[in-house]
Amino acid sequence: MHKLGFFICLCLLGPQSLFTQETAATGKIELPSGESIMDKQIEVTGGIDAYKKLKNIVIKGTFEAPGMKADITVYKAEPNLMLSETTIPGMGKILEGVDGKIAWSYNAVQGAVIKKDEMAELAFINAHFREEEWRAKITKAETIGIETVEGEECYRVLLTPKVGDVPSTNYYSRKTGFLVRTDLKVKLPMGEFNMQMIQKDYKKVGDLIMAHTIIQKMAGQEMKMSHAEIQFNVDIPKTTFEPPAEVKALLK
């Protein structure tokens, strides 16, 4: 999910202005603008008013990777606060967070880390809470074609970010308007990798419709997060997003 408040006008225009149609003169497919496709995704998943009501979100579920299954809880709050707690049997917790000022991680094996450069940028992008405000993160959204992805015919939208120089590509279902997959490049300490993030199992939660399964593919490996419970606007203590003492020690 990523994005916005221009849907009243878009809905009044009707579905033909939002989705592809063939021209009588040429028989060629006219592609809708990237902006209209991304705005439509916000509309079909609940609408701008429903997104604006959100102050925070808590997601609980499981995280699966080759040879591992763990419980995970993710806390997100406006404007850019995030904490994920992954509990691995026999290994303890892996913590990843953004407190609005720094992006950090901590686990018993690697210890405390304050993220820098591309890793920090990616963390802050993921922590940006207001999905409807996708224009705050994207300079340009360009529809560059139609492609079948995960068995669905999708619009392929190339996104140019405001931060960083690496574009990403979103695939939106022509039938539902939902985001199906995101392709991007990720720079890690061990090199640059192509990543695919697949979103599926869309279900209604309150006034919104959200993907309940996220599959990440990178370097021949597949990881899956399954959402068992999603809650909105719950009581989250402010201290939740504070980094642990081990991370704070690195700031001194």
pLDDT tens for residues 122-155?
788 889 999 999 998 899 999 999 999 999 999 9
Instruction: Kindly tell me if the per-residue pLDDT of 187 is higher than 80.
Output: no
Instruction: Kindly tell me if the per-residue pLDDT of 5 is higher than 60.
Output: no
**What superfamily in CATH does domain 7-251 come from?**
Lipoprotein localisation LolA/LolB/LppX (2.50.20.10)
Question: Does the predicted model carry a pTM greater than 0.85?
Answer: no
Amino acid at 13: L
pLDDT band at 90 (very low <50, low <70, confident <90, very high): confident
CA–CA dist 80, 30 (Å, integer):
37
Amino acid at 205: V
User: What are the pLDDT digits (tens) for 23-53?
Assistant: 444 456 789 999 999 999 999 999 999 999 9
**pLDDT given at position 136:** 87
Is residue 218 within 8 Å of residue 186, measured between CB atoms?
Answer: yes
What's the angle, vertex CA 152, arms to CA 73 and CA 181, rounded to 5?
A: 35
CA–CA dist 55, 53 (Å, integer):
7
